[in-house]
Structure 1
Amino acid sequence: MVGGAFVKLVEELKGTMSIQLICEHLGIVRSTYYRWKNSQNKISRKIERDQTIGQLCSAHKFRYGYRKLAALFPDVCEKTVQRVMQKYNWSCRVKVKKRKRTGQPAHVAENQLNRAFRATAPFQKLTTDITYLPFGQSILYLSSIMDLYNGEIIAYTIGPSQDTAFVLDTLRQLEVPEGALLHSNQGSVYTSYEYQKVIKENGIIISMSRKGTPADNSPNETFHFSLKSEEFYTLERVHLTNAIVQQKIEDYMYYYNYIRPFQKLNCHSPIEYRTTAA
């Protein structure tokens, strides 16, 4: 009699007689029964663990590698999570690198942020940028503003062109307190007279990256890279309408702010982190 079948039989009969007596009748040493039972329990725990990891991979659309997922399982080592993901082909999809572009500045402000990307309070340091969305019937653009306190996207606009009115529409969604720092690259929309006039009238401190140095605004660069690679580059090549592209951006913004875990935020989402801190 195999161990699994014997353990199952004992579980069915132990209400009518002792485990010792069952083992004697079936000619099995009691210690052997407990060894088989422990083995079955280990197998059950492994199956449950694998199912939990699979559910988490599916919930995040297989966007993350084993290190980020392992952070959500404090009792499971990284190597175990890696082996499970490889076993069931749950590994992270390959991310496509973003094409970099530089601006042609006209009226440039100093780089007052100077890569000091940590903030101790909301609306203390903000970064903004524009990225292109070549996934629909025509190219769309996304303008976003990030709060460096928790990495939350606090305002964004989607449109068919990237002009000064486009970025000001994003900015006017917010009530930015006087003295807050707003960092951007040297794109023409940010160096325009109209944009800088609105910034200065509201008492906001202007900061700009150095020419051809996207790393000076890496938080926004990283966000746009994640949005494209996680929401679009993981799809099969299909033709999307602009309306579908905009809806997918809306869905991702909610996911990014409310659900997506960040290790630097103790595996909280940006909204969870801000709410907990408050």
Structure 2
Amino acid sequence: MAGRNGSNQEKAKVIETLRPAYKLCQLLTIASLASSSFYAALKANQQPPKNKDQTIIETIQAIRADDELVSFADALGYRPMTHYINQRRAARGEKPVNHKRVQRIMQENKLSSHAYERQTAKYKSYKGTTGRLHKNWLNRRFQTDRPTQKIGTDVAEFRWGTETINERTFGSFFIDFYSGEIISHALSLHPNTDFVLASLEEVQRRSQQVPYLVTIHSDQGTQYQSTAYQMALKQSHIRQSMSRKATPIDNGVVESIIHQIKVGTVLNHEYATRDALELAINQWIDSYNTKRIRERNNWLTPVQMRLLYETNKAA
């Protein structure tokens, strides 16, 4: 017989086992258990065990279905997912959960992201030495303590329809290494210098508002070797930096974020038309900049990180 201090449900289990051999009233007296408490505990024992993780599972599913996060929610790992969960739990007045518990729950319930499993060939804009090459001023020193100081850029290819070479659009992206913010981008059917210059305009505008040297890093693509691009940087007093030949890791931050764009679009979704694809890319970038929290930003979004810097500077 369970001790007198045992839970009512534990006592009820033992009593049920012994009932064939003893009278119920005797067992209840020994267990110091009222008959009403016994039957309540017996009913509770017959209920299926409550899944303590169910609320968290439902929250993960809600985050994945959130219209504001849907463009990247499927690709979230357990660490950022933990912070999104805790934001919602705090709003409900609930205690935060540990990231290790979220990791376990996602693994056990097949909620882990598989969005990064697909790969695609990288567009290569390098055509040999067609213009002037520049020194690698960054040399993989991507970290900076202020926005617009170190910026990376690259051109990427995205395909729609049956994904032939006639069904592809190109994106030019400028990314701030301070916060990961995609400062500007342009989409075009032709990966020429003009569309790179179009995406450069916002960077030029921001560079005029800071008192320090701005460096833009790229690979050795023909667009970045062109006279027009290099003159645009020189006129804006922007220093040009280039990766070594065939060394993508020299521009690793940009490579990583462009891959995230592809994960959120062409690697896990299909688009029937160019318009549908370009709309998805634009929406993903807007959502990423304003909704996607990043661990290296102390769990702020890229835009929040920049605005916090500007607020602290103005104080």
Q: Same fold (TM over 0.5)?
A: yes
Structure 1: distance between partners of 2:136 and 2:167: 34
Structure 1: distance between partners of 2:273 and 2:37: 70
Match of 1:81 in 2: 102
2:282 is aligned with 1:250: yes
2:189 is aligned with 1:182: no
Distance 1:234 1:28, change over 3 A: same
**Other structure's SS at 2:229 match:** helix
Task: Report the CA distance between 1:190 and its aligned residue.
Answer: 0.5
Task: Report the CA distance between 1:118 and its aligned residue.
Answer: 1.0
Structure 1: distance between partners of 2:308 and 2:51: 35
Alignment of 1:7-86 (within 5 A): 24=34, 26-28=36-38, 43=50, 46-59=53-66, 60=70, 61-72=73-84, 75-86=96-107
Aligned amino acid, residue 62 of structure 1: D
State TM-score, norm by structure 2.
0.71
Match of 1:205 in 2: 239
Give the share of equivalent positions with the same residue, in percent. Answer: 27
Q: Is the 8 A contact 2:219 2:244 kept in 1?
A: yes
**What is the alpha-carbon root mean square deviation over aligned residues?**
2.9
Aligned amino acid, residue 69 of structure 1: M
Structure 2: distance between partners of 1:152 and 1:27: 61
Match of 2:136 in 1: 111
1:37-87 Cα offsets, whole Å, 9 max, x none, are 9xx9x9475322222232223334421222432355574344432332234
1:72-105 Cα offsets, whole Å, 9 max, x none, are 5574344432332234432202422342436123
Q: Which structure 1 residue ranges, 5 or more long, are not aligned? A: 7-22
Task: Report the CA distance between 1:162 and its aligned residue.
Answer: 1.0
Q: Is the 8 A contact 1:145 1:156 kept in 2?
A: yes
Match of 1:148 in 2: 177
Task: Report the CA distance between 1:267 and its aligned residue.
Answer: 1.7
Match of 2:199 in 1: 170
Match of 2:299 in 1: 267
Q: Is the 8 A contact 2:119 2:267 kept in 1?
A: no
Match of 1:14 in 2: none
Q: Is the 8 A contact 2:186 2:195 kept in 1?
A: yes
2:146 is aligned with 1:125: no
Aligned amino acid, residue 196 of structure 2: V
Task: Report the CA distance between 1:133 and its aligned residue.
Answer: 0.8
Structure 1: distance between partners of 2:305 and 2:172: 24
Task: Report the CA distance between 1:25 and its aligned residue.
Answer: 5.6
1:191-249 Cα offsets, whole Å, 9 max, x none, are 111111111111111111111011111111111111111222222xx452000011001
Match of 2:30 in 1: none
Q: Is the 8 A contact 1:143 1:157 kept in 2?
A: yes
**Other structure's SS at 1:28 match:** helix
Task: Report the CA distance between 1:184 and its aligned residue.
Answer: 0.9
1:117-168 Cα offsets, whole Å, 9 max, x none, are 1111111111111001112472100001011110101110000101111111
How many residue pairs get aligned? The number is 251
